[in-house]
Amino acid sequence: MNKRIFAGALIMAASVSLSVSGIVFADRDEYERGLFKRTGTVPAVANKLYATECGACHFAYQPGWLPARSWKKMVGELDDHFGENAELDQESRDAITQYLVTEAADVKPNRKSRKILRSIRDTDAPQRISTLRYMVSKHDEIPARLITGNAKVGSAANCIACHKGASEGQFNEHGVNIPGYGPWED
């Protein structure tokens, strides 16, 4: 009888250990499994033309933040890009569209892009990354005075103000440093 209890306790302990290690393993920003590298970040911008043209006015958002349909719509409406005329010549527009669509959230899946896509209806083509349900939920605990009321931040769309690794696709909440406030701890 004691051997059965001991064996059961041993199996239970092993199961709990494996479960906990699985949770820790799955929560890492980057990890390797088998032959495929999987990541919780959105891949960094890897297109110089896009980085130059779009990054001249604002943070050059990684394509993994939006589905292809959103990027097509956005680049197709550059004559009224959030109230500004950001038109490009046809060759540049085609090259940027190709890059964004090829690397979009619904084309190049990663853990963060899948979470973003779950917050968007299949029929929607959102334009503002900062207003996606996923993004709003990630920032909802931060007081508005630290974002919109902070002249050094201005809005949640200014990712690079608080996420120092934003250009590399690193948006880990433990690396947030709000200008004028300091590290954010939730």
Region 87-106 average pLDDT: 97
Q: Where are the beta strands (DSSP E) in the chain?
A: 30-33, 36-39, 177-178, 182-183
Could you report the per-residue pLDDT of 132-144, keeping only the tens digit for each? 999 999 999 999 9
Q: What is the pLDDT of residue 173?
A: 83
Q: What is the pLDDT of residue 27?
A: 39
Q: What is the pLDDT of residue 31?
A: 39
Q: What is the pLDDT of residue 12?
A: 72
The mean pLDDT value of the chain amounts to: 86
Q: What is the pTM of this model?
A: 0.77
* Domain range list for the chain: 2-39, 48-181
Band the pLDDT of 29: cuts 50, 70, 90. Answer: very low
Would you call 109 helix, strand, or coil by DSSP? Answer: coil
Is the pLDDT score of 47 beyond 50?
yes
- Buried/exposed 79-107: b ≥16 CB within 10 Å, e otherwise: eebeeeebebeeebeebbbebbbebbbbe
Decide if 175 contacts 163 (C-beta within 8 A).
yes
Region 25-51 average pLDDT: 65
